[in-house]
Amino acid sequence: MSNTLTIDGNTIPFTDGQTIMQAATAAGVYIPHLCHHPEFTPHGSCKLCTVKVNGRICSACTFPAMAGQNVLSNTQELTADRKKITQMLFVEGNHFCPSCEKTGNCQLQAVAYHLNMLDDHYPLFYPQRAVDASHPEVLIDHNRCIFCTLCVRASQQTDGKNVFAISGRGINKHLIVNADSGLLKDTDLAASDRAAHICPTGAILIKHTAYQVPIGQRLYDHQQIDQVSLAQEQTPHGE
């Protein structure tokens, strides 16, 4: 007999070692997230996947699934909290969707649509952040980084490198690269590396590929993120 838990009243099977997120995804239940990716070690940094487990607040991507758990995810309270987190991500950086090359392919933008986020709500920070275009094939636009650490984990766990890291805390937090110069051109990053393709926003982009897929024909232009995410996460190496 398989182990089961409940998510929003629905019985969900799971296997030993799975997290709540993994069990939910396998059962076709979408829990909003940005820092989670099935290829990499869970990090629990974005807090979008926060759920209530037997009344306790937990991150679904890191908390282990256990028999008898009563998980609440799709509640008015949690949806409101997720919307606030998403709004804060928008105002903390410089996320101007109409002028961003990643629009239509951006997970942050798609999550905002999913949560019915109609405005930023909070005052914009307008931080002064640089664009590192020193690398011949890849650029970093620090304005769009949400510190999900996906590039950090991809570089370490898939590429076998250590190109990226997060430095600082709070408003001073920023993405850094493994080079004395601080420039991407002086790292061993290759355009073929997983880390160069994993960014959920437009912070890391491959040069000379902009708008090859026209706006209107992009990933989230005709599909909601819950449909895309579940399909991708049930497929090996899905982005």
Q: Say yes or no: 10 and 66 in one domain.
A: yes
Judgement on whether residues 15 and 58 belong to the same structural domain of the protein? yes
Q: Do both 197 and 165 map to the same domain?
A: yes
Q: What is the mean pLDDT of the chain?
A: 95
| pLDDT(190) > 80 | yes
Check whether 189 has a pLDDT greater than 70: yes
Could you tell me if residue 84 is inside a domain?
A: no
**Pair (129, 162) in one structural domain:** yes
Percent of the chain residues topping a pLDDT of 90:
94
Q: Are residues 57 and 157 in the same domain?
A: no
Split at pLDDT 50, 70, 90, the class of 171 is: confident
- Assess whether 107 and 53 both reside in one domain: no
Domain that holds residue 28: 3-74
Asked if residue 57 and residue 134 are part of one domain, the reply reads no
With a threshold of 0.75, does the pTM exceed it? yes
How far apart, in Å, are the Cα atoms of 200 and each of 171, 194, 229? 20, 13, 12
For residue 121, pLDDT over 50 is answered with yes
What is the model's pLDDT at position 218?
A: 96
**pLDDT of the residue at 234:** 72
Asked whether the beta carbons of 176 and 76 are under 8 A apart, the reply is no
What CATH number is given to the structural domain containing 187? 3.30.70.20
At residue 177, the pLDDT reads 98
Q: Assess whether 45 and 101 both reside in one domain.
A: no
pLDDT value, residue 239: 45
We report the CATH number of the domain holding residue 63 as 3.10.20.740
Distances (CA, A) of 181 to 101, 145, 177, 184, 238: 27, 20, 9, 9, 33
